[in-house]
Homo-oligomer: A and B are copies of this chain.
Amino acid sequence: MTYDDFMDHHRRRDKAATRAKLLDAARLRFARHGFDGTGVRDIAADVGVDPALVFRYFGSKEQLHDEAVRMEIPEGLAADPDRPLSDVVGTLLHEVVFAGWEQFDGDHPLLVMLRSAGQPAIREQVRTQVCEGYLPEFAARMGGDNPALRAELAGALLLGMGVMRSLLDTPALREASFEETRALVARLVDALVDAPRPGRGGRDRAEGRGAS
């Protein structure tokens, strides 16, 4: 933060800074009230700027949304293919359910987009992010048959926990410690990995992949 940034009392003209402020305000508004519940005028008013600037800088409300709620974060997930699944899920659990995400009013970007699931385009974005970003990483670390289904169950657990915490503000999840929750989730994930083929009696774990 430079001196000029700090002393912008008289509103110095700075396209990049204004654009960034608009993006920040848009993130908050979209997270809090969804796509339909957010007006271009609201966002511009937060920044203290004319609404027309939004269209000059972003083209349309939808493009602004795309740029504001885009997430670049699924990196580091596939970094180490040998990382065990419970580890990966634990990290995601922290990101999706327990992390602050102040820039998105406390919610993970996926949940923010889910809140605007009325727009089919936004729904498709969430679908792509989940199906191509997370589920394959889960499935690759699953043993046994139908790993895709088991991966989706793990994803459903995380997504559901995020929805319950952020949208429903469920009491136990709100007050539970991360460690306690992580331990329970890890146990569930282990059960998922170890689950034998439904209908068959024996276990078919490929190699000894014990808990932890």
Q: Which residues of A approach B to under 8 Å, CB–CB?
A: 33-34, 36-37, 114-119, 123, 126-127, 130-131, 135, 146, 148-153, 155-161, 163-164, 167-173, 176, 179-185, 187-188, 190-192, 195, 198-199
A151 surroundings in chain B (CB, below 8 A): 172
Q: Are B126 and A168 in contact (CB under 8 A)?
A: yes
The 10 tightest CB contacts between A and B, nearest first, are A160-B160, A183-B198, A156-B160, A191-B191, A36-B36, A34-B118, A148-B172, A149-B172, A159-B160, A156-B161
A89 CB to nearest B CB, Å: 12
Q: In the complex, which of the residues B117, B149, B158, B180 contacts A160, with contact meaning CB atoms closer than 8 Å?
A: B158
Known contacts A149-B181, A156-B157, A184-B153; A167/B198 CB under 8 A: no
A179 surroundings in chain B (CB, below 8 A): 198-199
Q: Are A152 and B167 in contact (CB under 8 A)?
A: no
Q: How far is the CA of A33 from the CA of B149 in the complex (A)?
A: 28
Q: Are B118 and A170 in contact (CB under 8 A)?
A: no
A90 CB to nearest B CB, Å: 12
Q: How far is the CA of A195 from the CA of B186 in the complex (A)?
A: 10
A182 surroundings in chain B (CB, below 8 A): 198
Q: How far is the CA of A191 from the CA of B148 in the complex (A)?
A: 20
Q: In the complex, which of the residues B34, B148, B155, B168 contacts A130, with contact meaning CB atoms closer than 8 Å?
A: B168
Q: How far is the CA of A131 from the CA of B146 in the complex (A)?
A: 33
Q: Are A159 and B163 in contact (CB under 8 A)?
A: yes
Q: How far is the CA of A151 from the CA of B181 in the complex (A)?
A: 12
Q: Are B169 and A127 in contact (CB under 8 A)?
A: yes
Known contacts A152-B173, A157-B156; A131/B185 CB under 8 A: no
Given contact pairs A114-B167, A146-B172, a sample of 16 additional A-B residue pairs in the complex whose CB atoms are under 8 Å apart: A34-B36, A34-B118, A36-B36, A36-B37, A114-B163, A117-B167, A148-B172, A149-B172, A153-B184, A155-B170, A156-B157, A159-B163, A159-B164, A180-B198, A183-B195, A187-B191
User: Chain B CB within 10 Å — which of A127, A146, A153 has the most?
Assistant: A153
